[in-house]
Amino acid sequence: MKNFKYLLIMIVALAIPVSSCSTDDDNDHDYHLEYVNVISAELPDEFNHGSTYKIEVTIALPNSCYFYYDQYDYIYDGTTRLIYPIGHVDDGASCNQIITETTFSIPVEVLQSEPYIFKFYQGKDPDGEDMFLTIEVPVI
């Protein structure tokens, strides 16, 4: 009987948190992620080997349904770095068509002696190929 009481208490204790959870959350909304276009990037004329720099990148958010939360893909390809900023896009919301610019920083630690080639995503061309703002920075 004593074990039955403990078992009953444990079942009730576990059932309370489960029953209090609600799947009806007013804060949920539909969204998707997509790459957004880079307008400009500020880089030094040269890097010093072993130093760390912050690259300032300005992007365009095409309308009020786009938000930027400091997310980007930073892809290594030999001495080239491909940078794709990621926008959160609210689906099903009414949006105004005002383009907003925002700037964020990317830390870069200079560990290679070869020049760095940065390619910042700027959308797709008519053939569907990625376009880039390309900037080369020598290392001294």
pTM of structure: 0.78
77-131 residue pLDDT tens: 999 999 999 999 999 889 999 999 999 999 999 999 999 999 999 999 999 999 9
What are the residues facing 73 on neighbouring strands?
A: 84
Alpha-carbon gap, residue 136 to 115, rounded angstroms: 7
Domain segments of the chain as ranges:
31-137
Does the pLDDT of residue 34 top 70, yes or no? yes
DSSP β-bridge partners for residue 45: none
> What's the pLDDT at 5?
52
pLDDT tens-digit map of 7-24 = 445 454 544 444 445 455
CA distance 29 to 125: 31
| Secondary structure class of 50 (helix, strand, coil) | coil
Token duo for residue 109: 């630690």
**Could you please report the per-residue DSSP string of 113-137?**
SSPEEEEEEEEE-TTS-EEEEEEEE
